[in-house]
């Protein structure tokens, strides 16, 4: 290991230590990490656009139906 005397930073020598993970498996043989569902939703702009239009529409329709049903019947 080499030490930078100015700021005390320790650097590893050799690229072989960086090319393998803790288990000693090279990066190309590692299993692919699964992308979380929330990240998949937030990464899709068309899905966000659809949800941004559909959710308020459904909420306002439900609100309107509740308002209409709360109007008293005239005699």
Query: What is the total residue count of the chain?
Result: 75
Residue listed under structure tokens 């139906």: 65
Specify if 58 maps to a domain: yes
Residue 10 DSSP SS3: strand
> Residue 71: pLDDT above 60?
yes
Give the residue numbers spanning the domain of 46: 2-69
Query: How far apart are the C-alpha atoms of 56 and 64, rounded to whole Å?
Result: 12
pLDDT of res. 60:
98
- Residue 10 pairs in a beta bridge with 3
Residue listed under structure tokens 């209409």: 68
pLDDT in tens, 1-47: 555 556 665 655 555 555 666 667 666 656 788 999 999 999 999 99
Specify if 59 maps to a domain: yes
The number of domains in the chain is 1
- Residue 2 pairs in a beta bridge with 11
Specify if 74 maps to a domain: no
Specify if 75 maps to a domain: no
Q: pLDDT higher for 61 or 22?
A: 61
């Amino acid at each position: 290991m080499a030490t930078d005397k100015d700021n005390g930073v320790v650097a590893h020598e050799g690229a072989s230590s960086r090319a393998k993970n803790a288990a000693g498996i090279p990066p190309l043989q590692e299993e692919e990490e699964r992308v979380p569902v929330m990240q998949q939703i937030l990464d899709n702009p068309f899905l966000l656009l659809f949800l941004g239009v559909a959710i308020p529409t459904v909420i306002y329709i439900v609100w309107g139906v509740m308002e209409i049903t709360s109007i008293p019947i005239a005699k």
